[in-house]
Amino acid sequence: DAGVIQSPRHEVTEMGQEVTLRCKPISGHDYLFWYRQTMMRGLELLIYFNNNVPIDDSGMPEDRFSAKMPNASFSTLKIQPSEPRDSAVYFCASGYGTAYGYTFGSGTRLTVV
């Protein structure tokens, strides 16, 4: 298994541009999480899905952020328009049930200039 796959690994964009981050979870996992990590705020949960359905999006900072999971093997996190304060590492993680912990992707380092 290739693990959780995120793309791109690095993204540099100008303020105001749309950014789309992608995630392919591990096959068979029924939970998918999007996190953001910064030095100041640590790890923050943005949204999570169960069986492709969004369950808790209370961590999504504002309407500029949206996430979708059209099928069990793909999810996107979109920021439109992007702002410099969105600069962070964004992680996707997937898991099965609650007994085994979660597998994280390598992350996307986003820089908004």
Binding site for another protein (CB under 8 A): 4, 31, 33, 42-43, 45, 48, 50, 55-56, 91, 93, 95, 98-107
> Which residue, 74 or 104, is less far from another protein as judged by CB?
104
Residue linked to tokens 């085994």: 100
**Shortest CB 16 distance to another protein, Å:** 28
Euclidean distance between CA atoms 82 and 64, whole angstroms: 8
**Shortest CB 6 distance to another protein, Å:** 8
> Which residue, 65 or 91, is less far from another protein as judged by CB?
91
Three-state DSSP at 61 gives coil
CA atoms within 13 A on the CB side of 102: 16
**Shortest CB 100 distance to another protein, Å:** 7
Pairing of strands 108-112, 10-13: parallel
> Which residue, 20 or 30, is less far from another protein as judged by CB?
30
Single-letter amino acid code for the residue at 82:
S
